[in-house]
Amino acid sequence: MQALMQDWSLTLDKIFDHAARWHGDREVVTRSVEGPIVRATYAGLHRRAKQVSDGLKEMGIRPGDRVATMGWNSDRHLEVWYGTVGIGAVLHTLNPRLFPEQIVYIANHAEDTVLFADPACAPLLAEILPQCPTIKRVIFLDAEYEAWLEGRPADAAWGGFEESTAAGLCYTSGTTGNPKGVLYGHRSNYLHAMMTLQPDALNLSARDTVLLIVPMYHANAWGVMYSAPMVGAKLVLPGQKLDGASLHELMETEGVTYSAGVPTIWQMLLAHLKETGGKLTSLQRVTVGGAACPESIIRTLRDDYGVDVIQGWGMTETSPLATVSTPSPKVAALPFEQQLPYKLKQGRLICNLDLKLVDDAGNRLPHDGKTFGRLMIKGPTIASGYYGSEHNSAVDDEGFFDTGDVSTLDADGYMQITDRAKDVIKSGGEWISSIDVENIAVGHPKAALCAVLGVVHPKWDERPILLVQLEPGQTAGKQEFLDFLDGKIARWWMPDDVLFVDEIPLGPTGKIDKKLLRTRLTGYELPFDPGLKR
């Protein structure tokens, strides 16, 4: 028996139609490329996005064609976004922080046809465009864009295609091998937005003012490009200025209640607040993802500024949000100090997804909070394969996708990432979590950033070493950090060496670039103590 309900395709144009019709006067505020703060509304941006659609059609863009963007979070970027997906074309967000050769590979693999770019990307584009033959036109998101848009009709037809139609293309950062394309669908992005709006996820509403720090070129800005308009939340888009002072100014002048970004963003903001004595008068909560959040950030934001930190986990292939560390009823009833170990985990699944842990042979492992295993995930917002791959299936026989993460799961459903599979340290047949050691070490008051790597050891196969980037003007010795770690981690997890470095490099999404760190450590030999006991 078939249900007697209306056929209503879950296509993304409906989200922006809804925002314009029912939240039309809600503001979208941008720090523009020209410098001044620019104010728009959902209704106004909807009209301009329709003009973008008209311009794309005039260029000959058809459903399925890839339209690329390269830029930061702005109202113009948002217009191009919905103007593209509204007509069934595929929005391909290029990350300007990737290496030029990676961008060339990605643009050619995607066969991008037209590119909208922030003017700050002009020098980079001058280098790469001669190597990207499919890109026939570039429009800079400044006065050139305004001239291209001026006078165009705002009545382009949106929608009318299947909800399974491709909507967005985002490439992984390619830490191993070439970047891989993740092809999102209208239905998957629509469902992801609805899933992440739950109170136990991002918990966004029309009463929120959202400072969107996580970049639009990174997995749909964690889906907020769809979830915020879906509920009519006010959007604040910071452009290219992501320093602590600029973000703090926007938070205070716009009454920001919610924000999202990687841990390094919050470290910069806290450093600015400490230096200036600044306050956070409206911010209530932040979601931290992209890398594990150190305890020091959670404590400082809560204790000094009254801001709740909620960790989230996901990846490009999961659209991206999959788990969130909002408390279960049992955890919420605990005192904060007893809640903290759960807040340091990556959290519990949002609706419509499933997880499992397996060993290297694919056998399921227990959810006891102690057993490490490969993290597998499935659901309607999870990639089943990669764009243009000859071997397109990326799932096992049960439909689970291998995340490449090593984690634990406990009986209450809390998941904790312990490492990337390629970064896990195997010492004497046991696993050491580099992430756990890093998160504790960075709590040292003299530490700016910390990284833990596994180094070949003649007896134990691998042993951990700690790399420390000190705060400006600080000095420290090896034993000072070992003493700080003592009692906080298992004795056999204790690093065999501590190296102080001028810089711990970050990748294009704000994560520590361990691949580059290993390259810089070429020739390093671990001090060997044959009497070391585990």
426 counts as catalytic: yes
d(CA 311, CA 334): 18
Q: Which of 426, 459, 488, 515 is catalytic?
A: 426
Q: Which of 11, 113, 172, 196 is catalytic?
A: 172
Q: Which of 79, 163, 317, 438 is catalytic?
A: 317
Produce one character per residue of 377-393: b if its CB has 16 or more CB atoms within 10 Å, e if not. bbbebbbebbbeeeeee
Backbone angles phi, psi at 124, to 5 degrees: -65, -45
For tokens 């918990």, the residue is 203
Backbone angles phi, psi at 451, to 5 degrees: -140, 145
Beta-carbon contacts of 298 under 8 Å, excluding residues fewer than 6 positions away, are: 309, 340, 343, 344
Distance set, CA 231 to CA 20, 109, 483 (Å):
11, 35, 49
Q: Is the peptide bond before 320 cis (omega within 30 degrees of 0)?
A: yes
> How far is C-alpha 227 from the chain's CA centre?
15
What letter represents residue 47's amino acid? R
Q: Of 397, 415, 413, 212, which Cα lies nearest the Cα of 314?
A: 415
492 counts as catalytic: no
- Reduced to 3 states, what is the DSSP secondary structure of residue 52? helix
Q: Of 420, 448, 155, which Cα lies nearest the Cα of 274?
A: 448
Q: How far apart are the first and last CA of the chain?
A: 64
Question: Torsion angle, CA of 196/506/73/34, rounded to 10 degrees?
Answer: 160
CB 28 within 8 Å of CB 183: no
422 counts as catalytic: no
431 counts as catalytic: yes
Q: Which of 295, 431, 478, 492 is catalytic?
A: 431
Active site residues: 172, 317, 426, 431
